[in-house]
Structure formats: C-alpha cells, structure tokens
C-alpha cells in the first residue's frame, strides 16, 4: 500500500519544468517537420526525415502528460487509416506515369513551375508529401503502441 | 578427415577468388561515365528539383522507395500484432 501511494504521488507531481519545456517545443517540432517535408525537393531532408521529426510529438506529449495525455490527444485508429492512405497516394503517383503514357514512376508532370519554386517538381513534391504522411503516422502509431505497454504491465 | 580437407580446400578457393576480384576492382579505372554521371548532369533538366538526392530517391529510383515505404507498413503491422495486448488495453480505456 505504501509503495502504491508513493507511486501515485510521483505520478501526480510531474515535473513542471518538463511540462513547460514540452509545451514550448511541441509547436516548433511540428512546424519544423512540416517544413522539412514540404521543402524536400529544395533543401536537405525529405519525407522520411520530416515524418520522423513530426512523430517526435508523441514522445513529447508522453514525457509531459503520460499515457493519459496520449489517449486524450491522439486517435490511433485514424492514424492507421491515414498511413494506408499515404501508401495508396504514393502508388497512385507512381501509376500516374503509366496513365500519362510513359513507364512506372516516370515524372510525367515535372515541367509545372520554375525550378526553385515551392510547387515545382511535379510528382516528386507529391511523393515527398505522401511518404511524409505515411512515415509520421506509422512511426507515431508504433510509438503509441510501444508506450502503452508500460501501462498494461503496471495494471 | 575428407570432410575437413574439402572444407579447407573450398575456403581457400573462395578466399583466392575474393582477393582476385577486389584487386581487379581497385586497379581498374572507376566507371564514372555510367548512370551516376547521367543522374548528376540531368537532375535539373529532367526533374526541376534542386535537391538532387531527393530527385534520385523519388524519381530515378522511385520503385525502390515504394518498397522501402511498404517495409515500414510491414513493421507497423508486426508491432501491432506482437503488442496486441497493449492495443486492446488502450481501446478498453478509451471506451470507458
């Protein structure tokens, strides 16, 4: 009993410095991740790297508010569906080459816009976006499930 | 006795072939005029993307990236199957 009370007290008294730090870092992390995904064809980075940076939001919320905070903020079922939508988007933009009369994964619409613009490189931009969507949702779902194991064993 | 002799014999043959091939590769001039030169030269003309690494990953080798992203899908499925107790426990708490 005494040990349980001690554990409950420790759970209630989360460090306020960690809470404030995570609240401060969360929007910066999300914006930086989306920037890396959307500017993948102009600056270093791409879908994989930006997706992993965005999915670090799960870890930040866990550090600040624990598993209860994750349950309140994220919807893992919808995240699973969104990941599959991302992979279907990638396959569609690969098939777009065949639909436009070339081979699979050919960049058939590359000459939209000037090189250097944000929306410039045709399917590369969209493939970056779909891979980023897929990676951020997949890694986030994996992290949520892995962090839930801590709760299940305690109960 | 014969088994050990054959093992050592084939190992020696494989070692000699490995050294021979690596020596030939290191001596012969590097084939820089192949696909690598084409990718570096025609990145902006063919794809209009300034970042040539992204152009290679998502355009010239798009099929490879497709497989890579499906590897991640398989990993997520494996985690969900192995830790299905955690997934179910989370759902019960959500319904409460």
How far, in Å, CA of A146 to CA of A148, rounded?
5
How close, in Å, is residue B95 to chain A by CA atoms?
11
Categorize the per-residue pLDDT at A155 as very low, low, confident or very high, splitting at 50, 70 and 90. Answer: low
Tens digit of each residue's pLDDT (9 = 90 or more) over A60-69: 999 998 888 8
Q: Are B48 and A111 in contact (CB under 8 A)?
A: yes
Tens digit of each residue's pLDDT (9 = 90 or more) over B17-67: 999 999 988 887 766 777 888 888 888 888 888 888 898 898 888 899 999
Tens digit of each residue's pLDDT (9 = 90 or more) over A75-124: 988 998 999 999 999 999 999 989 988 888 888 888 888 888 888 888 89
> In total, how many domains does chain A have?
1
* pLDDT at B12 (0 to 100): 95
Collapsed DSSP state (helix, strand, coil) of residue A43: coil
Question: Measuring CA to CA, which residue among A123, A136, A46 is closest to residue A92?
Answer: A123
- Print the domain residue range for A6: 2-154
Which among B49, B85, B93 has the least Cβ separation from residue A124? B49
DSSP 8-class letter at A108: T
Collapsed DSSP state (helix, strand, coil) of residue A3: helix
Chain B contact set for A152 (CB, 8 A): 85-86, 89
DSSP A98-151: HHTTS-TT--TTTTSS-TTSSS-STHHHHHHHHHHHHHHHHHHHHHHHHHHHHH
Structure token pair of residue B31 = 């084939």
- pLDDT surpassing 50 at residue B70: yes
Per the model's pLDDT, the better-predicted residue between B90 and A101 turns out to be A101
User: Which residues between 47 and 76 in chain A have a beta carbon less than 8 angstroms from any beta carbon of chain B?
Assistant: 47, 71, 76
Which among A44, A111, A134 has the least Cβ separation from residue B51? A44
Task: Determine, for residues B83 and A124 on separate chains, whether the beta-carbon distance falls below 8 Å.
Answer: no
How close, in Å, is residue B86 to chain A by CA atoms?
5
Collapsed DSSP state (helix, strand, coil) of residue A101: coil
Chain B contact set for A47 (CB, 8 A): 58
Which among A80, A127, A135 has the least Cβ separation from residue B72? A135
Task: Determine, for residues B54 and A90 on separate chains, whether the beta-carbon distance falls below 8 Å.
Answer: no
The position carrying tokens 């000459």 is A111
Q: What is the mean pLDDT of residues A118-137?
A: 91
Q: What percent of chain A has pLDDT over 90?
A: 52
How far, in Å, CA of A102 to CA of A95, rounded?
10
Tens digit of each residue's pLDDT (9 = 90 or more) over A27-56: 999 999 999 999 999 999 888 999 999 999
DSSP 8-class letter at A41: T
ipTM attached to this prediction: 0.77
């Amino acid at each position: 009993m005494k040990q349980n009370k001690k554990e409950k007290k420790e759970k209630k008294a989360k460090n306020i410095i960690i809470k404030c730090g995570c609240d401060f870092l969360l929007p910066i992390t999300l914006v930086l991740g989306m920037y890396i995904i959307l500017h993948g064809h102009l600056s270093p980075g791409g879908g994989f790297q930006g997706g992993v940076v965005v999915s670090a939001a799960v870890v930040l919320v866990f550090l600040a508010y624990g598993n209860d905070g994750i349950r309140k903020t994220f919807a893992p079922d919808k995240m699973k569906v969104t990941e599959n939508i991302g992979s279907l988007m990638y396959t569609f933009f690969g098939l777009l080459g065949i639909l436009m009369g070339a081979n699979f994964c050919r960049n058939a619409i590359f000459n939209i816009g000037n090189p250097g613009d944000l929306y410039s490189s045709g399917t590369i931009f969209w493939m970056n976006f779909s891979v980023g969507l897929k990676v951020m949702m997949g890694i986030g779902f994996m992290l949520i499930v892995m962090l839930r194991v801590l709760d299940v064993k305690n109960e | 006795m014969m088994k050990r002799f054959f093992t050592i014999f084939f190992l020696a043959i494989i070692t000699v072939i490995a050294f021979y091939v690596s020596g030939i590769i290191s001596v012969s001039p590097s084939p820089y005029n192949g696909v690598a030169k084409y990718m570096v030269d025609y990145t902006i003309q063919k794809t209009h993307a300034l970042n040539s690494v992204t152009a290679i990953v998502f355009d010239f080798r798009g099929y490879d990236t497709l497989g890579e992203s499906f590897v991640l899908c398989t990993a997520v499925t494996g985690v969900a199957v192995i830790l299905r107790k955690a997934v179910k426990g989370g759902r019960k708490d959500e319904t409460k």
